Structure 1
Amino acid sequence: MSDKEIMAARERALKCAYFALDKKALNVKILQIEKISSIADYLVFASGRSDKQVQAIADSVKMGLKPIDRPIDMEGFDEGRWVVIDYGDIIVHVFQEEVRAIYNLDELWQRAPRVEVPEEYLWEKE
């Protein structure tokens, strides 16, 4: 049995949020979409203030999850405006704040239930 099978998608999504927040990501959300879409079970959204921070957040998620999961694909890293990391059952979106506002995926997925990010992960209190 692989490590991926041992750790459920929800736990890995929470780890993605943790690794994003470790690089001071803003407005981190985990959405459970398995009942409303077939593209994945969870979406993780995070924002950064610059291309370098977006790249650092995406790299932190990828490297942090490396012992337990490998991405199927990763797009947008070189530009650092919107990075998508696809783990199959989890899709991580790391945006620059203004790009996130333009595409507004938060509103698109607003009916999806949110998974609460543990308070101890948060670096700034909302």
Structure 2
Amino acid sequence: MTQSAQLMQTIMKAIEEKKGHDPVALDLQGLSTIADYFVICHGNSDIQVQSITTEVKQQAEKAGWRMRGMEGFDTGRWVLMDFGDVIVHIFHREDRQFYNIERLWSDARTVETV
């Protein structure tokens, strides 16, 4: 398993810990140079979005990964976390439905996670 796949798995487990809704990991390898994976999920409130974000950050750092940047935490509507090879999108439910970024990356393969 590659390092980016290990990071993606760590992030997916953190999302599950905080009951993130409909988590999806998209494999972008060969489709984009942006990242190897996009991880997408949503929460039903601003507070849940922030809680999921905090858990992802803590678990990734605990496993030795460093986050390069984060946007949107204060509003809790759409948080973007940049871990380099893995980009995490944590949406508020309505914003996920509105932006529907899974559709934009429909060529990407959905990864089955453990």
Return the TM-score normalized by structure 2.
0.95
**RMSD across aligned positions (CA):** 1.3
Measured after TM superposition, the shift of residue 11 of structure 1 is 1.2
- Partner SS for 1:94: strand
Counterpart pick for 2:68 among 49, 72, 91? 72
Distance 1:53 1:64 in 2: 16
Structure 2 residues without counterparts, runs of 5 or longer: none
- Partner SS for 1:110: coil
Distance 1:65 1:14 in 2: 10
Identify the residue that residue 84 of structure 1 maps to in structure 2: 80
Runs of 4+ in 1 over 4 A off after TM superposition: none
Please tell me whether Structure 1 or Structure 2 has the larger radius of gyration of its CA atoms: 1
Q: Are 1:25 and 2:13 an aligned pair?
A: no
Percent of matched pairs sharing the same residue: 39
- Partner SS for 1:16: helix
Q: How many residue pairs were aligned?
A: 113
Counterpart pick for 1:61 among 18, 39, 56? 56
Return the TM-score normalized by structure 1.
0.86
Structure 1 residues without counterparts, runs of 5 or longer: 1-6, 119-126
